């Protein structure tokens, strides 16, 4: 029914080209045989091979994955509670501060969050002796803190869109509030929780600045490793790494999209 | 319902509030208090490298030296200013490109719409660092853009793009464009299209109807989008580091270097506090805005 | 002036889909005309072509002698009241109503004067500075009406004008609309799916289906003399009996119907031949029910059994099963006040109607 003006179509094309051409070029150059990343030296997959033999990258990737799984899980639990509180608990003492604290980590510049958490950990260590070594646990805590904000927002908006009468009906049928949460509310917000977990996972894998602040010697996450290499300029094995990430994300998102479309189609048919 | 189960429910309700609340108090609010505390200390060569807030006798020892230093040294004023300007310029670029894009997406038919939207969100899931890195290969002196232009014969020697403010702007606009498009899309999509038809029916031309109806009704999205770009862009560290020149510093980089290179913790904290003060107004605006948005949605 | 609005051979295609299919229509000045049809029949597309939001794929549209087929909506002497009312949410009532005048560059005091007049006409004078979200449904409808009328258009288009209102309000607003139309003498073209609304509101109705007009006429013509099965079935309730013509007389025909099990007489208004398959249609309120066989000789008279009945206060509905299994709907006025039922389930009854009550339908 709608037809776009030429202006809109050209801006859309330009915008999507702007977003995707850089990524496309990284993928193309990851198959470049030449060690000088900007000169084309023929097709090759050697950088992928080298990537898989680089222990530093593999270690960093493993650490990042562990942190991402841990912090995403913790953030999903805490964020779901926070989302429930914001959407369903009405007014309570300290609500303004609560919602303020939930949303702030999302927009706070990373340098500030990182610096404040590091100084906090240092002070805590002085006072209590913990954390003796900064690394896995401090990064996981930092990531949990800002990722739970995203989970809370996703869960809250899902709950807002959801009909409260479903829960009321369950209570009307004799369910106790807590049972209702487990029987009705949680299954209904499960998609939001999964989305929140995935987002937290990605945010954690993605984070460089905060991790740089709160990590200690010996714990290098994948972004930290990449940054140390990229600082020196374009490098072909990073192209290969980037391509693998782009491929993994694209496949994952495409599957998620197809599945959600099928669900939407079957539910609209009934 | 028995009294015991009621009490149990009440207990769980409390857990749901207290657990996230406590977490945020400890790991979000307390760290800010500590930044503030350390910004009032003096740097010393020790571990940790700052003077304690209370000396041996127990009396308060606060120093505003770090703040006076920042406020008197022109370097900081210029850097803050440059950060604000850069972030503002990036915001305008995002709006100029993002508005027509969001408009086009919101007005396309539902099946294409979800695909177009997906393509806006997809970059979120790909490493931020690697997306910035992608531009290094593009904007290099011997990168794709220069090679292409030279092959075309448009230029004889490479244009210096990397390590300039231009590169930083492109990087900021590229990274934050989705943050602009999503809220814009949300407010354009829920707009009743009859309103634009009604304006035209009453004598407004196409462009008049846009400025009378579409633009003001998209304002919530415009405000949210601009703030979502402006606030994080002000403190950005990675983009200016990788794409910007060594002499054109932005405040995020300065904070990082004061801390890690100069090991002046009080000064770094003071830099953070002042940045935070600069951001208080837009952050409060955004939060109030989102709270109102949510109330309207109910 | 009969051809104030003149639609000639207008079609509109969306891809392969013919939303409006070669339509001709003339509407006179000052008429209150309704286009009635189900969803997807093309009525809204036709209205949007009159407003200028869609350009016809072929054909011409003239208003007051001027060809407006390709004219932009903002240049047409036509205004529209939208189904959603499309009140600008960021402007107050007076700003909304005055919007059209402001776009015409009219001086401020003049705008103020005319907005006041218009608000008085729709009885909203005291709500001038209200915001749209503080208005009730009925008030919103009147703001939309005032805004569409203020430019004194030659034609006012109304898209489902009352669909968003509740039943009580709808009835009252119907008459208000008619009064305003009468007072201003503007030609109204209403699009609606609600036959009751179309019947009470309009002077003439066009019944539309699959992009074409099935019948154009006054409410009475359309109800009493539907020209085809679609219109008969779409407007109100009707009983249809399949039959074959056996005798063609001067003024009347004889039809044998299996479903009734008898030959019956109907008035022949159309040209039919012996042996032709036709439908006989009778409205439920034209059928009488009685326990004894009625005396009327030339009427149609069949025996049946009460299958179901319902009491509606002012009238009762019966479903009568004939021997053939055909169910006939009958509606009868409850003239007498009584608590006992006149008929019960399974009662044997006679149903009858006069020949001139039946309509002969050929297609």
C107: CB partners within 8 A, 6+ apart: none
| Mean of pLDDT over chain B | 87
Q: Please answer yes or no on whether C90 and B205 come within 8 Å at the CB atom.
A: no
Of C89, C90, C151, the CB nearest to B202: C151
pLDDT band at A224 (very low <50, low <70, confident <90, very high): very high
- Residues of chain A with pLDDT > 90, as a percent, come to 39
Report yes or no: C355 and C298 within 8 Å, Cβ to Cβ: yes
**Within an 8 Å CB–CB cutoff, is residue B190 touching chain C?**
no
- Chain C contact residues (CB < 8 Å to B): 51-53, 72-74, 78-80, 82-84, 86, 88-90, 99-100, 103-104, 147-148, 151
**Cα A51–Cα A54–Cα A56 angle in degrees, nearest 5:** 125
Report yes or no: A68 and A205 within 8 Å, Cβ to Cβ: yes
Average pLDDT estimate for B278-287: 84
Q: Please answer yes or no on whether B28 and A107 come within 8 Å at the CB atom.
A: no
User: Is the pLDDT at B297 greater than 70, yes or no?
Assistant: no
Domains in chain C and their CATH numbers?
Answer: 3-233 (3.40.50.300), 237-361 (2.40.50.140)
Give the number of other Cβ atoms within 10 Å of residue C154's Cβ.
17
Report yes or no: B179 and B187 within 8 Å, Cβ to Cβ: no
**Within an 8 Å CB–CB cutoff, is residue B195 touching chain A?**
no
User: Is the pLDDT at A1 greater than 50, yes or no?
Assistant: no
- Residues of chain B with pLDDT > 90, as a percent, come to 46
- Residues of chain C with pLDDT > 90, as a percent, come to 61
Closest CA to B28 of A15, C188, A104, C182: A104
Give the whole-angstrom CA distance, residue C116 versus residue A36.
77
Q: Please answer yes or no on whether A116 and B31 come within 8 Å at the CB atom.
A: yes
Pairing of strands C262-267, C348-353: unpaired
| Chains with at least 3 CB pairs less than 8 angstroms from chain A | B
CA B127, B133, B135, B138 torsion-angle sign = negative
User: Is the pLDDT at B278 greater than 50, yes or no?
Assistant: yes
C-alpha distances (whole Å) from B170 to each of A7, B132, B163, B164, C361 are 22, 10, 12, 10, 73
pLDDT band at B16 (very low <50, low <70, confident <90, very high): confident
Specify the pLDDT at position B79: 93
- Residues of chain C by 3-state class (helix, strand, coil), percent to 5: 25, 35, 35
C-alpha distances (whole Å) from C168 to each of B20, B292, C159, C162, C236 are 51, 35, 20, 11, 21
| Mean of pLDDT over chain A | 86
User: Is the pLDDT at C248 greater than 90, yes or no?
Assistant: no
Report yes or no: A60 and A169 within 8 Å, Cβ to Cβ: no
User: Is the pLDDT at A269 greater than 70, yes or no?
Assistant: no
User: Is the pLDDT at B31 greater than 50, yes or no?
Assistant: yes
Average pLDDT estimate for C197-225: 93
User: Is the pLDDT at C101 greater than 70, yes or no?
Assistant: yes
Specify the pLDDT at position B217: 93
User: Is the pLDDT at B58 greater than 70, yes or no?
Assistant: no
Helix axes B165-189, B74-106, angle to 10 degrees: 40
Give the number of other Cβ atoms within 10 Å of residue C122's Cβ.
20
C257: β partners: C262
Specify the pLDDT at position B298: 46
Give the whole-angstrom CA distance, residue C244 versus residue C278.
6
Report yes or no: C69 and C54 within 8 Å, Cβ to Cβ: no
Q: Please answer yes or no on whether A116 and B272 come within 8 Å at the CB atom.
A: yes
Q: Please answer yes or no on whether C53 and B216 come within 8 Å at the CB atom.
A: no
Q: What is the ipTM of this complex?
A: 0.86
Specify the pLDDT at position B90: 97
C119: CB partners within 8 A, 6+ apart: C93, C94, C97, C125, C127, C128, C146
| Mean of pLDDT over chain C | 90
Interface test with chain B among A109, A163, A205, A215, by most B beta carbons within 10 Å: A109
Domain boundaries, chain B: 27-297
Q: Report the chain C residue with the minimal C-alpha distance to residue B214.
A: C88
Specify the pLDDT at position C262: 84
DSSP secondary-structure letter at C75? G
Report yes or no: B266 and B39 within 8 Å, Cβ to Cβ: yes
Give the whole-angstrom CA distance, residue B268 versus residue B263.
8
User: Is the pLDDT at A175 greater than 80, yes or no?
Assistant: no
User: Is the pLDDT at A184 greater than 90, yes or no?
Assistant: no
C-alpha distances (whole Å) from A8 to each of A21, B182, B241, C31, C185 are 19, 17, 34, 42, 43
Report yes or no: C25 and C191 within 8 Å, Cβ to Cβ: no
Q: What is the pLDDT of residues C134-181, one digit of tens each?
A: 999 899 999 999 999 999 999 999 999 988 888 888 888 888 899 999
Burial of C339 (0-12, 13-18, 19+ CB in 10 A): exposed
Closest CA to C57 of C7, C22, C5: C22
Residues 131-160 of B with CB under 8 A from A: 131, 133-138, 140, 142-144, 147
Q: Where are the beta strands (DSSP E) in chain B?
A: none
Average pLDDT estimate for A212-234: 89
CATH of region B27-297 = 1.10.3720.10
Q: Which range has the worst mean pLDDT, A222-226, B207-211, B259-263, C282-286?
A: B259-263
Specify the pLDDT at position B296: 61
Give the whole-angstrom CA distance, residue B237 versus residue C310.
78
Give the whole-angstrom CA distance, residue B91 versus residue B230.
6
Q: Please answer yes or no on whether B24 and A107 come within 8 Å at the CB atom.
A: no
Contacts of B279 in chain A (CB under 8 A): 109
**Within an 8 Å CB–CB cutoff, is residue B286 touching chain A?**
yes
Q: Please answer yes or no on whether B201 and C80 come within 8 Å at the CB atom.
A: yes
User: Which fold is adopted by the domain A59-269?
Assistant: MetI-like fold (1.10.3720)
pLDDT band at A42 (very low <50, low <70, confident <90, very high): confident
């Amino acid at each position: 029914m709608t037809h776009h003006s030429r202006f809109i179509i050209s801006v859309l094309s330009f915008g999507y080209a702007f977003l995707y051409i850089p990524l496309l070029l990284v993928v193309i150059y990851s198959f470049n045989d030449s060690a000088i990343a900007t000169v084309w030296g023929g097709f090759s997959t050697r950088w992928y091979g080298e990537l898989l033999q680089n222990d530093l990258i593999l270690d960093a990737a493993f650490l990042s994955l562990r942190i991402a799984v841990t912090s995403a899980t913790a953030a999903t639990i805490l964020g779901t509670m926070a989302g429930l509180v914001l959407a369903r608990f009405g007014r309570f003492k300290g609500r303004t501060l609560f919602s303020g604290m939930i949303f702030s980590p999302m927009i706070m510049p990373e340098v500030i969050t990182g610096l404040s958490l590091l100084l906090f950990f240092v002070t805590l260590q002085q006072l209590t002796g913990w954390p003796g070594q900064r690394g896995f646990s401090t990064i996981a805590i930092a990531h949990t803190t800002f990722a739970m904000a995203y989970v809370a927002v996703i869960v809250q908006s899902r709950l807002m869109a959801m009909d409260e009468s479903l829960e009321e009906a369950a209570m009307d049928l004799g369910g106790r509030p807590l049972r209702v949460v487990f029987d009705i509310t949680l299954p209904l917000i499960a998609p939001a929780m999964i989305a929140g977990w995935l987002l937290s996972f990605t945010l954690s894998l993605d984070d460089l600045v905060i991790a740089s602040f709160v990590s200690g010697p010996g714990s290098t996450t994948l972004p930290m490793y990449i940054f140390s290499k990229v600082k020196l300029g374009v490098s072909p094995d990073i192209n290969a790494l980037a391509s693998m990430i782009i491929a993994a994300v694209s496949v994952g998102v495409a599957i998620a999209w197809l599945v959600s479309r099928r669900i939407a189609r079957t539910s609209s048919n009934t | 319902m028995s009294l015991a189960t009621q009490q149990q429910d009440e207990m769980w309700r409390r857990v749901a509030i207290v657990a996230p609340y406590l977490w945020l108090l400890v790991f979000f609010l307390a760290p800010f208090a500590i930044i503030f505390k350390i910004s009032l200390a003096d740097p010393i060569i020790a571990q940790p490298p700052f003077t304690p807030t209370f000396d041996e006798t127990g009396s308060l020892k606060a120093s505003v030296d770090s703040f006076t230093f920042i406020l008197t040294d022109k370097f900081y004023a210029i850097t803050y200013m440059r950060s604000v300007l850069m972030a503002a310029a990036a915001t305008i670029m995002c709006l100029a490109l993002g508005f027509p894009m969001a408009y086009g997406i919101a007005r396309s038919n539902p099946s294409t719409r979800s695909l177009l939207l997906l393509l806006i969100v997809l970059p979120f899931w790909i490493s931020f660092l690697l997306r910035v890195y992608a531009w290094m290969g593009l904007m290099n002196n011997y990168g794709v853009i220069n090679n292409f232009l030279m092959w075309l014969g448009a230029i004889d020697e490479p244009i210096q793009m990397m390590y300039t403010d231009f590169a930083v702007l492109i990087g900021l606009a590229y990274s934050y464009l989705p943050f602009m498009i999503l809220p814009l899309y949300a407010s354009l999509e829920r707009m009743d299209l009859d309103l634009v038809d009604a304006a035209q029916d009453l004598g407004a031309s196409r462009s008049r109807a846009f400025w009378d109806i579409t633009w003001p009704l998209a304002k919530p999205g415009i405000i949210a989008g601009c703030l979502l770009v402006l606030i994080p862009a002000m403190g950005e560290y990675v983009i200016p580091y990788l794409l910007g020149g060594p002499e054109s510093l932005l405040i995020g980089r300065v904070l990082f270097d004061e801390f890690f290179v100069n090991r002046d913790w009080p000064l770094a904290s003071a830099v953070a506090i002042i940045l935070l003060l600069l951001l208080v107004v837009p952050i409060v605006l955004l939060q109030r805005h989102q709270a109102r948005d949510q109330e309207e949605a109910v | 002036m009969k051809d104030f609005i003149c639609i000639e051979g207008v079609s509109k295609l969306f891809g392969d889909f013919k939303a409006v299919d070669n339509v001709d229509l003339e509407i006179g000045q000052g008429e209150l005309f309704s286009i009635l049809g189900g969803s997807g029949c093309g009525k809204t597309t036709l209205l949007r072509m009159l407003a200028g939001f869609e350009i016809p794929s072929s054909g011409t549209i003239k208003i007051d002698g001027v060809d407006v087929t390709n004219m932009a909506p903002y240049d047409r002497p036509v205004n529209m009241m939208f189904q959603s009312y499309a009140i600008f949410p960021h402007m107050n009532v007076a700003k909304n109503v005055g919007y059209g005048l402001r776009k015409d560059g009219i001086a401020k005091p003049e705008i103020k004067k005319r907005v006041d007049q218009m608000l008085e006409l729709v009885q909203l004078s005291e709500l001038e500075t209200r915001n749209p979200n503080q208005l009730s449904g009925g008030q919103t409808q009147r703001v939309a009406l005032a805004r569409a009328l203020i430019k004194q258009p030659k034609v006012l288009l109304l898209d489902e004008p009352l669909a968003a209102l509740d039943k009580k309000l709808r009835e009252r607003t119907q008459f208000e609309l008619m009064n305003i139309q009468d007072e201003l003498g503007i030609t109204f073209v209403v699009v609606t799916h609600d036959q009751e609304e179309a019947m009470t509101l309009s002077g003439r109705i066009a019944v539309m289906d699959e992009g074409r007009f099935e019948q154009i006429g006054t409410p009475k013509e359309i109800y009493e003399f539907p020209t085809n099965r679609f219109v008969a079935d779409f407007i109100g309730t009707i009983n249809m009996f399949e039959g074959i013509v056996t005798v063609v007389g001067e003024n009347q025909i004889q039809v044998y119907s299996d479903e009734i099990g008898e030959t019956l007489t109907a008035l022949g208004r159309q040209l039919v031949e012996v042996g032709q398959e036709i439908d006989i249609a009778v409205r439920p309120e034209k059928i009488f029910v009685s326990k004894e066989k009625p005396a009327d000789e030339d009427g149609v008279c069949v025996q049946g059994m009460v299958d179901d009945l319902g009491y509606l206060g002012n009238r009762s509905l019966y479903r009568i099963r004939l021997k053939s299994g055909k169910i006939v709907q009958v509606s009868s006025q409850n003239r007498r006040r009584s608590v006992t039922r006149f008929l019960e389930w399974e009662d044997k009854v006679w149903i009858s109607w006069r020949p001139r009550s039946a309509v002969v339908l050929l297609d």
